[in-house]
Amino acid sequence: MTKPSQNALVRRNFQRSVLRVISLISEADIMHRYRSHTCAALRKSDVGSTVRLSGWVHRVRDHGGILFIDLRDHYGLTQIVADPDSPAFKVAETLRSEWVIRVDGEVKARTDETINSGLPTGEVEIFAREIEVLSTAKELPLPVFGEPDYPEDIRLKYRFLDLRRETLHKNIMSRTSIIAAMRRRMGEGGFTEFSTPILTASSPEGARDFLVPSRIHPGQFYALPQAPQQYKQLIMMSGFDRYFQIAPCFRDEDPRADRLPGEFYQLDVEMSFVEQEDILTTMEPVLKGVFEEFAGGKPVTQKFPRIAYDEAMRKYGTDKPDLRNPIEMSNVSKHFRGSGFKVFANILTASEQNQIWAIPALTGGSRAFCDRMNSWAQGEGQPGLGYIFWRLSPLPAEAQNDPHHPLARLAASQRKWFTQTFEMNEESGIQYWRQDGKEEGVSQQPAGKLYWEAVGPVANNIGIERTEAIRRQLNLGGNDACFFVAGDPKKFVAFAGAARTRAGEELNLVDHDRFELCWIIDFPFYEWNEDEKRVDFGHNPFSMPQGGIEALEGADPLSIKAFQYDMVCNGFEIASGGIRNHLPETMVKAFEIVGFDRETVEERFGGLYRAFQYGAPPHGGMAAGVDRIVMLLVGAKNLREITMFPMNQQAYDLLMNAPSEASPAQLRDLHIRLSPVKKDA
């Protein structure tokens, strides 16, 4: 047998020494410095293991001298136990909320009666053997545990604490997941993500620009992009086909409840060689898929209806209709021309533009509800709301005995409608009608002796035939109502839409547990700017007018429609886009109508204008509001609840104290001298 070499003996002895050393090292000593598991990872299968966790002290409870510590990290919660026999007990007694600690201990199974089924880790707890305090926390300016309501300014100033709260933390993570899903779906659709510049030129996107002074070019300014509009079109000019990005956008707008001041994000999209229908059919499944993925089981519209702008304004009083509300308004002017209700009759004769619109209110047939709606309208600065409501009433005796009586004829004509609203009950061989499952009051009358009585000043003045014609047009019945608005629709349409919304909410007609989406198409290319007394762009100045340059040269500008479209969800605009104007002469003519001459167009949009002259493909796109989509999907009250570090409504960043004053040296470098700010008297 060959004797081992000297080198082999040395290696063997070294290996034995290493094994002896390793056997003397505890499991804890070879763990990661801070954790072996997250606070959401441990399960019953880990019982008996020695583990190391790190996180924040969520809360401490003392049960008969035994301390229970809820330890929290980004992933979840784990219960830590320290009793007086534990070597970690002394440190555990000192712990306070939001201290950061490291815990070493053994995983133990909870008893059946102490299992917390609401926690993924609820079947186990950690018996602490060692606790190390990694950092302490001062007294908290707002609580993290329990999430009670707290003043928003405090929440924004201490946003890093606010973000530790469970709901807000989940919202931010949901936002990240939703954006990732958008990127994934766009990639699957053949789109490529490109980044566009943040420092750019000013552009008339409908809001004020944030300007950035140039140090190198004194007296000149960059602008932060209100949208990557020109750049994404230039990408199409450059020969790329399908572009997208999650783009930051900056607009210096006055505070609004439905927008974040300063900046927001959008899913920006552009495609070459497409018509409007191509974009709608490409982007609808992308956003429908995102909603279905994150809707939490709520129904999502499967086929988005296409609604023309004019139709949306006529039916819903807005170009952002909430289709969960079943109320659709109707023009009922014909029923009031020459009627005895002189207020409406005179409005119709005063101008051909004037109309009477009806707002049907299913189940709103009570005087109390009509009075509430009237009070609301007066609070909105209106004189009130005309109304009719219908109630089930017994026929007067004279009508019961005379089949030719107007009310008897009315009852006979309504009888077929009863079967749609009321149940029939057999009692003593007589048919009775009951409403809402009840058999009381006038509902306990033979069917032939009941009719839907129209109630209210409007009904009293226009007569039976006109009120019945209105009821039939609106498909209303007993216990329903309708309200009327009158005048020039351009002036009352916004109020009519608000009244529709109010009635739907008051009567619980809106199903809040669903997502109803639609496309709004055929927007006006131009609109009348009342403040400046001139024609202005109605939506996007870079869109293609329907009819092209011929329409621009020969038609009334206010009659021209655009290849523009919005996507709307539950009353919120969540996306907007259009087919682009890619022809230079059409672009010049479109801007000429709103007061821009050729030189101004070439100066303001030089890059785009030049590109149009070197072979521009037909193209179009859209942008979807990331912030608003996330807000809808997580059910947040406002956009600040889904934004990591938002400003307040006064456009002030309370966490970073921005905006702030610039130093004299900074202003000097930028060649800027400040004028004194005039204080309001």
Going by DSSP bridges, is the β-strand pair 211-213/221-223 parallel, antiparallel, or unpaired? Answer: antiparallel
CB count in 10 Å sphere of residue 549: 16
Label residues 392-424 b or e (16+ Cβ within 10 Å = b): bbbbeeebbeeeeeebbbbbeebeebbeebbee
Which residue carries 């092209």 as its tokens? 548
Nearest-angstrom CA–CA distance, 419 and 654: 62
The two structure tokens encoding residue 241: 């086909």
Residue type, 525: F
Is position 253 annotated in a ligand binding site? yes
Q: Is 539 annotated as a binding residue?
A: yes
602 is in an annotated binding site: no
End-to-end CA distance of the chain: 109
For residue 371, the surrounding DSSP H or E stretch is helix 367-379
Say if residue 580 carries a ligand binding annotation.
yes
Cα torsion 331, 335, 341, 343 to 10°: value is 30
b/e per residue 40-76 (b: at least 16 CB within 10 A): bbbeeebeebbbbbbbbbbbbeeeeeebbbbbbbeeb
Question: Scanning the structure block, which residue is given the tokens 């604490």?
Answer: 161
Alpha carbon distance 348, 405 (integer Å) = 31
123 is in an annotated binding site: no
96 is in an annotated binding site: no
- Tokens at residue 151, please? 């003043």
The answer on whether 252 is annotated among ligand-binding residues is yes
Cα–Cα distance measured from residue 406 to residue 402, given in angstroms and rounded to the nearest whole number: 9
Residue 251 marked as a ligand binder = yes
Give the whole-angstrom CA distance, residue 288 versus residue 279.
14
Phi, psi (degrees; rounded to nearest 5) at 144: -95, -40
Q: Counting every residue, how long is the chain?
A: 681
Q: Measure the CA–CA gap between 182 and 516, rounded to whole angstroms.
A: 19
Per-residue b or e along 514-529, where b marks 16 or more CB atoms closer than 10 Å to that residue's CB: ebbbbbbbbbbbbeee
Calpha distance 670→466 (Å, rounded): 72
Nearest of 445, 440, 453, 443 to residue 481 by alpha carbon: 453
Amino acid present at 273:
F
According to the annotation, is 573 in a ligand binding site?
yes
Question: Which of 220, 258, 483, 232 lies closest to 374, judged by CA?
Answer: 483
Sorted by sequence, the CB contacts under 8 Å of residue 592 that are 6+ apart come out as 598
DSSP 85-125: TSTTHHHHHH--TT-EEEEEEEEEEPPGGG--TTSTTTTEE
CA distances from 264 to 79, 285, 305, 501, 527 (A): 39, 24, 28, 27, 26
Binding residues for L-aspartate: 205, 251, 539, 580
Residue ranges for the known binding site for ATP are 251-253, 573, 625-628
**Binding-site residue positions:** 205, 251-253, 539, 573, 580, 625-628
